[in-house]
Amino acid sequence: MSAELKARILRAAAAEASPTRAAVRRRNTFISMVAAFSGIGAFVIFAVLMSESHLLRLGGEVAPQQRLERPVWLVIATVGGALGVAATAVWLALWRGRSMLGRSRRPLLYGGVLIPVSLLAWKVGCSIAFGDAMMAWPERPGERCLSLSLIVAVGPLVSFLAIRRNAPVRPALNGAVMGLAAGACAWVAVDLWCPVAYVPHLLLGHVLPLFVLACAGALLGYALLSVRTR
Amino acid sequence: MERYARGDEAAFAELYDAIAPRLLGFLRKATRDTFAAEDLMQQTLLHMHRARGSFIPGAAVRPWAFAIARRLVADSARRRRVEQRLFSDAPADDDRITYEPTAATALADDLVHARRLESRLQERIDALPELQRTAYRLLQQEGLSLKKAAEVLGTSVTAVKLKAHRAYVALRAVLRETEEA
């Protein structure tokens, strides 16, 4: 091993500033707060613009002259369950366990399958228990929920990528799980706003954005988290 | 690494001493080019330097370093291929430096035989698929455990066993052919 090589590498490292753990913690806290505000802000703006009367729409007009009121307990149950799944998804996407290389392929793949399935199953299960919410709403095909999900999820997805910064192995898969986690966070917001539990609406407005975000996350993960030569 | 993550700048020299020799050996075998190996080692260590703030207390450093190095080797090979395709007039990468075993006391015939065998084994190793080659190197040449090698390769322990086994089978075939010849 040449001493010249060691001196060159030490010089190069000294010339390039790198944050310590304390600085990274501060930076990540700041990024998380910005992401949370961006998600909440996007939700509030969207909900104010898109709701005719009030922000937290517990019900709505199914068809002309036919209204449906969503029970508060149904809202609490669906949002609570979605919140639990979203928290698990964020933990899966950002927590690397005891290894610098992050999670192995299997938990990431299982998470990728289970996150959308459990969100949909919980929503449908709760709605079946309360009955009326499962009815068809022809005036709400789901495009507004699709837009809301994507708008709310952008901030969290960017923040997850910024917090993780690099993934020497499986960057695309890690990015996809981050996309799903961001989508799960957006699901909670959409669940607060949308009273519809009609399955075709859920598939278009609530589940499709999860897949769009997973694909976007995979592409961004591959582009931004991969280790590359300079 | 833990001290370095907390901000002890002097710890980087110790980190270098602890991992650089094996890392450089791994990169030399992977690239078969001393200058490229040194350049990639510098990039690997600078990558670790940049990511020190996100180091997990108690995490293993060597698999992390090897995983970064492996990605950098793959990326630099990909870049070289792209550059060669773009500038097809550029000379092929045939100025590789190989390291020959020194055997001062060996007989000339043995030395010739050993060199021939080494060259054939090296050719066979180079011809292996990338995952098989890296699995073999991590297990046999770097002494990593199956679990750590699986982490570096981003695959399961069973897959690493299978890939290393295929590499052994290929290398054993070379040895058998040489013995028969």
pLDDT at B123: 80
DSSP per position, B120-135: HHHHHHHHS-HHHHHH
Say if CB B148 and CB B139 are below 8 A apart: no
pLDDT at A168: 86
For B55, name the nearest residue in chain A, comparing CA atoms only.
A100
Q: How far apart are the first and last CA of chain A?
A: 23
Query: Does B154 contact A19 at a Cβ distance shorter than 8 Å?
Result: no
> With bands split at pLDDT 50, 70 and 90, how would you rate the model's confidence at B99?
very low
Residue A204 has pLDDT above 70, yes or no: yes
Select the more confidently predicted residue: B173 or A29: A29
Residue B29 has pLDDT above 90, yes or no: no
Q: Which residues of B touch A16 (CB under 8 A)?
A: 46, 49-50
Name the residue ranges covered by the structural domains of chain B. 1-99, 101-181
pLDDT at A183: 94
Query: Does A99 contact B42 at a Cβ distance shorter than 8 Å?
Result: no
pLDDT at A212: 95
Query: Does A6 contact B13 at a Cβ distance shorter than 8 Å?
Result: yes
Percentage, residues of chain A above pLDDT 90: 31
pLDDT at A218: 95
Residue A213 has pLDDT above 90, yes or no: yes
The average confidence (pLDDT) of chain B is: 79
Select the more confidently predicted residue: B27 or B91: B27
Select the more confidently predicted residue: B1 or B68: B68
Instruction: Report the candidate in A58, A2, A16 with the shortest Cα–Cα distance to residue B41.
Output: A2
The pair of structure tokens assigned to A3 is: 């001493």
Arithmetic mean of pLDDT, A56-78: 70
User: In angstroms, rounded to a whole number, what is the distance separating the alpha carbons of residues B29 and A226?
Assistant: 23
Q: Which A residues in the span 69-108 are in contact with B, Cβ-Cβ below 8 Å?
A: 96-101, 104-106
pLDDT at A81: 92
Residue A172 has pLDDT above 80, yes or no: yes
> With bands split at pLDDT 50, 70 and 90, how would you rate the model's confidence at A14?
confident
For B4, name the nearest residue in chain A, comparing CA atoms only.
A20
List the single best residue of B47, B70, B71 to mutate versus A (max A Cβ within 10 A): B71
Lowest mean pLDDT among A48-52, A213-217, B55-59, B148-152: A48-52
> With bands split at pLDDT 50, 70 and 90, how would you rate the model's confidence at A214?
very high
pLDDT in tens, A183-194: 999 999 888 888
DSSP per position, chain A: --HHHHHHHHHHHHHS----HHHHHHHHHHHHHHHHHHHHHHHHHHHHHH-SS-SS--EEEEETTEEEEPPHHHHHHHHHHHHHHHHHHHHHHH--TT-TT-S-HHHHHHHHHHHHHHHHHHHHHHHHHH-GGGS--TT--SHHHHHHHHHHHHHHHHHHHHHH---SS-HHHHHHHHHHHHHHHHHHHHHHH-----HHHIIIIIIHHHHHHHHHHHHHHHHHTS----
Q: What are phi and psi of B56, to 5 degrees?
A: -85, 125
pLDDT at B36: 85
User: Out of A8, A10, A169, whose CB is closest to B67?
Assistant: A169
Residue A123 has pLDDT above 50, yes or no: yes
Q: What are the distances in angstroms from CA B45 to CA B29, B39, B144? A: 18, 10, 19
Residue A130 has pLDDT above 70, yes or no: yes
pLDDT at B9: 82
Lowest mean pLDDT among A10-24, A74-88, B80-94, B139-153: B80-94
> With bands split at pLDDT 50, 70 and 90, how would you rate the model's confidence at A223?
very high
Query: Does A101 contact B153 at a Cβ distance shorter than 8 Å?
Result: no
Q: Hey, which residues does A69 pair with through a beta bridge?
A: A59
Q: Which residues of B touch A174 (CB under 8 A)?
A: none
> With bands split at pLDDT 50, 70 and 90, how would you rate the model's confidence at A67?
low
Arithmetic mean of pLDDT, A191-200: 84
Domain B101-181 = CATH 1.20.140.10? no
Residue A134 has pLDDT above 80, yes or no: no
Say if CB A92 and CB A103 are below 8 A apart: yes
Select the more confidently predicted residue: A116 or B8: A116
Residue B96 has pLDDT above 60, yes or no: no
Residue B110 has pLDDT above 50, yes or no: yes
Cα of B142 to nearest chain A Cα, Å: 17
3-state DSSP assignment of residue B52: helix
pLDDT at A207: 93
User: In angstroms, rounded to a whole number, what is the distance separating the alpha carbons of residues B142 and B140?
Assistant: 6
pLDDT at B101: 46
Residue B89 has pLDDT above 60, yes or no: no
The average confidence (pLDDT) of chain A is: 85
Q: Which residues of A touch B12 (CB under 8 A)?
A: 10, 13
Q: What are the distances in angstroms from CA A190 to CA A153, A207, B119? A: 11, 11, 64
Query: Does B152 contact A21 at a Cβ distance shorter than 8 Å?
Result: no
Query: Does A9 contact B42 at a Cβ distance shorter than 8 Å?
Result: yes
Query: Does A8 contact B151 at a Cβ distance shorter than 8 Å?
Result: no
Residue B92 has pLDDT above 60, yes or no: no
Class of domain B1-99: mainly alpha
Q: Which residues of A touch B51 (CB under 8 A)?
A: 18, 165-166
pTM, to two decimals = 0.77
> With bands split at pLDDT 50, 70 and 90, how would you rate the model's confidence at B104?
low
Q: Hey, which residues does A61 pair with through a beta bridge?
A: A67
pLDDT in tens, B64-84: 888 898 889 888 888 888 877
Q: Hey, which residues does A67 pair with through a beta bridge?
A: A61
Query: Does A105 contact B72 at a Cβ distance shorter than 8 Å?
Result: no
